[in-house]
Amino acid sequence: MLLSATPLVALTLTRDPLAITTVTAVQYLPWLLFCVPLGTLADRVDRMVLAPHGEHHPGLWASACWL
């Protein structure tokens, strides 16, 4: 819902297509910066090494992907 509501709110503030596109692109930026590299890291690191860190710090991983 947030992904569809934010551009609509931006549309009420301005009619500039570049501004609305920028708002939409900025929404995906944290996912690209954090989740894609962390997923690549999870694929390349041994599971036995990564599993204890994932169990002890789930809030850290969730907040990194939620940003």
Distance separating alpha carbons of residues 43 and 30, to the nearest angstrom: 20
Residue 14: strand, helix, or coil = coil
pLDDT digits (tens, 9 = 90+) for 10-67: 889 998 999 999 998 998 888 888 788 888 888 898 888 877 776 766 676 667 666 5
Q: Which two three-digit tokens encode residue 26?
A: 């900025």
Would you say 26 and 10 are in contact if contact means Cβ atoms under 8 Å apart? no
pTM of the model: 0.54
CB atoms within 10 A of CB 30: 13
Phi, psi of 52 (to 5 degrees): -60, -35
Q: Which two three-digit tokens encode residue 41?
A: 């890291």
